[in-house]
């Protein structure tokens, strides 16, 4: 009896040993603003960008399906945290990306650290994400406030814009962008004459713009984004601010906002982006694919979401598992070479370092086709745009 039981057990074990490992696959969550001030900035089009990445990867990883889910956090950190916890605890989400809005991204990054899951921030800008608030499981793609300050702020000061006044969104992102740009302006010999802060999703900027105009600053730095930037620029035109000799600096401006403004209103704006659809053959190929699905060219947020998704999938494949610690190791080892950027490297603090570009928005008569918006002024090397991990303030690198 005993010998027959042992023989049966051995046979069962042998059969199990030759069976393939269970298919796993991964589930990726796109968490962003899909209905508010940043709906065009990233929004639902970022979901399509992630789907393109999954399709290009082949649709499967670790023998299972790649699934993309999404939710609208409405720019509310408490709602975003609730969604992230539900995704991680009951819906088997492995990684969250996009995360527009710095207050949201910082809150969700704390949840992912607690759960030992991975988040890759694209749409939020605060450099604190890989600085003082860095996480072993947190990454930051595409740009941050430090890089935008170096690109746009540094260039305008060197071009003679040596006095600044800031129009700032009154939350973590705006504060960080104002501070980082102020530091760059002062380091290059310029002066900051003042700042005024406005609520997120404002409709009336008149009192703020009148203060900026009265400052007589050569440059008015718009430390805001999305619809707030569009409304700031439109209302500045009504007050004749640019016509009066002051220059507007769109410190976080993407092709989506330029499209919303139109070239007549946006012409002459100087801005920094890490992606433009017409940079090279790879950016054009991805962008035409994106355009067919969405009816618009991608911004650096949408292209960055494509890249963050693809990089995560490559890291999972290379690790041979979706265990977070193993995938984190591969994310920091593998180069980032895709339609978003070439030669990108991930630092120990989770900051993905790649080149950015300084652009000037074309005049209407200079544009030759739909979405032909930018003139390239200069490349901003990633090594110049971002601090090293050691100098970032991230406690993990001490």
The H or E element that residue 351 is part of is none
- CB distance 170 to 223 below 8 Å: no
Q: Is the pLDDT of residue 22 over 90?
A: no
The yes-or-no verdict on residue 200 having pLDDT over 50 is: yes
Q: Across residues 144-167, what is the average pLDDT?
A: 95
pLDDT category of residue 23 using cuts at 50, 70 and 90: confident
Instruction: Provide the pLDDT for residue 20.
Output: 45
User: Is residue 352 classed as helix, strand or coil in its secondary structure?
Assistant: strand
Model confidence at 147: pLDDT above 50: yes
Record: fold of 26-143+280-346 = Rossmann fold (3.40.50)
Domain with CATH 3.40.50.2300 in the chain: 26-143+280-346, 146-273+356-379
Task: Look at domain 146-273+356-379 and name its CATH class.
Answer: alpha beta
Residue-wise pLDDT for 252-311, tens only, equals 999 999 999 999 999 999 999 999 999 999 999 999 999 999 999 999 999 999 999 999
Return mean pLDDT, the chain. Answer: 94
At 14 the pLDDT is 44
Residue keyed to tokens 């086709």: 369
DSSP-assigned letters across all residues of 272-311? EES--TTSSHHHHHHHHHHHHHHSS---HHHHHHHHHHHH
**Chain position carrying tokens 């700032």:** 168
Pairing of strands 270-273, 356-361: antiparallel
Taking the model in full, what pTM does it have?
Answer: 0.91
pLDDT over 70 at 11, yes or no: no
Contact 152, 270 (CB under 8 A): yes
pLDDT-derived band at 398 (thresholds 50, 70, 90) equals: confident
Looking at residues 177-189, what average pLDDT do you find? 96
Model pLDDT for residues 69-88, shown as the tens digit of each residue? 999 999 999 999 999 999 99
- Between 121 and 398, the more confident residue is 121
pLDDT digits (tens, 9 = 90+) for 231-243: 999 999 999 999 8
**Residue 157 confidence (pLDDT):** 95
CA-CA-CA-CA torsion for 50, 52, 57, 62, nearest 10 degrees? 50
Q: Which two tokens stand for residue 384?
A: 């110049």
Least confident of 31-35, 71-75, 201-205: 201-205
Q: Which regions of the chain does DSSP assign to beta strands (E)?
A: 26-32, 60-61, 64-72, 95-98, 118-121, 138-140, 163-169, 191-198, 219-223, 247-250, 270-273, 345-346, 352-353, 356-361, 374-380
Q: Percent of the chain beyond pLDDT 70?
A: 94
Structure-token match 């994400």, residue found: 129
Instruction: For residues 236 and 226, give the distance between their C-alpha atoms in angstroms, rounded to a whole number.
Output: 16
pLDDT digits (tens, 9 = 90+) for 318-358: 999 999 999 999 999 999 999 999 999 999 999 999 999 99
Q: Which pLDDT tens digit goes with each residue over 215-258?
A: 999 999 999 999 999 999 999 999 999 989 999 999 999 999 99
E-only strand ranges, 151-233: 163-169, 191-198, 219-223
Does the structure show a pLDDT above 60 at 5?
A: no
């Amino acid at each position: 009896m005993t010998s027959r039981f042992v023989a049966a057990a051995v046979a069962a074990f042998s059969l199990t040993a030759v069976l393939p490992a269970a298919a796993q696959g991964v589930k990726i969550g796109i968490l962003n603003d899909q209905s508010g001030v940043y709906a065009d900035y990233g929004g639902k089009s970022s979901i399509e960008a992630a789907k393109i990445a999954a399709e290009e990867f082949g649709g499967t990883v670790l023998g299972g399906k790649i699934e993309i889910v999404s939710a609208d956090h409405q720019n509310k950190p408490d709602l975003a945290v609730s969604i992230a916890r539900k995704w991680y605890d009951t819906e088997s989400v492995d990684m969250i990306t996009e995360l527009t809005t710095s207050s949201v991204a910082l809150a969700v990054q704390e949840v992912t650290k607690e759960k030992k899951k991975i988040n890759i921030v694209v749409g939020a800008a605060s450099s604190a994400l890989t600085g003082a608030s860095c996480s072993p499981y947190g990454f930051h793609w595409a740009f941050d406030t430090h890089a935008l300050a170096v690109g746009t702020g540094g260039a305008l000061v060197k071009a003679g814009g040596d006095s600044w006044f800031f129009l700032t969104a009154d939350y973590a992102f705006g504060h960080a962008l104002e501070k980082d740009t102020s530091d760059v302006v002062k380091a290059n010999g310029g002066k900051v004459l003042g700042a005024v802060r406005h609520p997120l999703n404002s409709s009336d900027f008149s009192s703020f713009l009148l203060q900026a105009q009265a400052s007589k600053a050569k440059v008015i730095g718009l430390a805001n984004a999305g619809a707030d930037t569009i409304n700031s620029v439109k209302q500045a035109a009504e007050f004749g601010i640019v016509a009066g000799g002051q220059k507007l600096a769109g410190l976080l401006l993407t092709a989506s906002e330029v499209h919303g403004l139109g070239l007549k209103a946006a012409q002459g704006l100087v801005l920094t982006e890490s992606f433009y659809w017409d940079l090279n053959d790879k950016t054009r190929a991805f962008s035409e694919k994106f355009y067919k699905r969405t009816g618009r060219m991608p911004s650096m947020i949408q292209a960055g979401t494509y890249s963050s998704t693809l990089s995560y999938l490559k890291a999972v494949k290379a690790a041979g598992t979706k265990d977070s610690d193993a995938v984190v190791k591969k994310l920091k080892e593998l180069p980032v070479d895709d339609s978003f950027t070439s030669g990108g490297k991930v630092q120990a603090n989770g900051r993905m370092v790649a080149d950015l570009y300084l652009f000037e928005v074309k005049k209407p008569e200079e544009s030759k086709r739909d979405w032909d918006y930018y003139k390239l002024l200069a490349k901003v090397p990633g090594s110049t745009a971002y601090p090293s991990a050691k100098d970032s303030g991230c406690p993990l690198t001490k």
